[in-house]
Amino acid sequence: MRRPRIGFLLPHYGSHSRSYMPSVVRALADAGAEVDVIHPLERAVDLSQVRVQHDMYVLRQMSRLSLSLAGVLHEQGAVIVNPYPVTVALRDRVIKSRVLQLAGVPTPTTYVASTPSQLAPLLEEGPLVIKPYQEGGQVKIVRTPAELAQVELDRDPVFAQRYHPPQGRDCKIYVIGEQLFGVKKVFPRRTQEEKLGEPFTLTPELSDIARRCGRAFEIDLYGMDVIESDGKAYVVDMDSIPGYKGVPDAPLLLARYFYDVAERAVEGRPPSSGGRRDSGYFH
């Protein structure tokens, strides 16, 4: 078999970045793959030259240009991990929350509105968390109409969840193929130690919820944020290809995962995955 060709669409990593992605790129090259970083771009590119030239692309969200380039490759039939439509759905909290609800994942009651003031009557039943509907920005807990009046979202849609006071730390769940990893982390996280968190053993209930999230989007490379409140678990967020901080050997496991998908693409075999092809949502 010829060497698999893999293209990476990555965010800009500064020299102080502790991202695992540069190690993943190196590990794939060491394993014999031909690896190119397609984005960040080194220079202006003639759009008509953007063609599928790799067996597989890795799309790590964040930059809007990388997302547009992924869309351009998707339209030309590229194999992308995670697939372009799934990455787009997972960047939009409104879409991802409804998909998770439909898959029977326990989530806080979730509201959408055109202006923050429309949420005021909901505060009578308790606090809300307002979140940017797409990536970036910070979540805000709102308890009173006065606090609500201070929320500025420009013209973005308003996305809010019922606030459930968490018992203890966040349960982060990371998934790489068949493997699930639980890591407890405080929120917010500042130090390197806090970002690495502390591994914990997933209960069967949390494993089941995690699998359900993957099946809902037909992917098996993702992360979730779960809080426990009043003895109940709530999935408050899900991400495509998260940072995997605190997952033992994450760079190696990710490199193996990508190599496997790329090899299958070279051989014309479909990507293998326990979690995929279930709900039909993206078909």
Ligand X SMILES: Nc1ncnc2c1ncn2[C@@H]1O[C@H](COP(=O)(O)OP(=O)(O)OP(=O)(O)O)[C@@H](O)[C@H]1O
Contacts of 267 (CB under 8 A, 6+ apart): 1
Q: Any contact of residue 186 with ligand X (CB under 6 A)?
A: no
Q: Which of 237, 240, 245, 246 binds Mg ion (CB under 5 A)?
A: 237
Give the dihedral sign, CA 32/254/99/159. negative
CB of 132 to Mg ion, least distance (A): 10
Q: Any contact of residue 170 with Mg ion (CB under 5 A)?
A: no
Q: Which of 39, 54, 164, 211 binds ligand X (CB under 6 A)?
A: 164
Q: Which of the listed partners (ligand X, Mg ion, none) does 108 bind, with a CB threshold of 5 to 8 Å by partner kind?
A: ligand X
C-beta of 54 vs 172, nearer to Mg ion: 172
Which stretch in 12-20, 95-103, 213-221, 222-230 sits in contact with Mg ion by CB under 5 A?
A: 222-230
C-beta of 66 vs 240, nearer to Mg ion: 240
CB of 187 to Mg ion, least distance (A): 9
Residue 31 burial (CB count, 10 A)? 15
Q: Any contact of residue 131 with ligand X (CB under 6 A)?
A: yes
Q: Any contact of residue 161 with ligand X (CB under 6 A)?
A: yes
Q: Which of 166, 194, 260, 263 binds ligand X (CB under 6 A)?
A: 166
Give the dihedral sign, CA 152/87/33/257. positive
C-beta of 57 vs 244, nearer to ligand X: 244
The DSSP secondary-structure symbol of 241 reads: S
CA 122 to chain centre: 29
Kindly report each contact of residues 249-256 with a partner whose C-beta sits within 8 Å and lies 24 or more positions away, as own/partner. Answer: 250/20, 250/174, 250/176, 251/20, 251/23, 251/24, 251/27, 252/27, 253/176, 253/177, 253/179, 254/20, 254/24, 254/176, 254/221, 255/24, 255/27, 255/28, 255/31
Binding site for Mg ion (CB under 5 A): 225, 237
Binding site for ligand X (CB under 6 A): 108, 129, 131, 139, 161-164, 166, 170, 187, 225, 227, 236-237
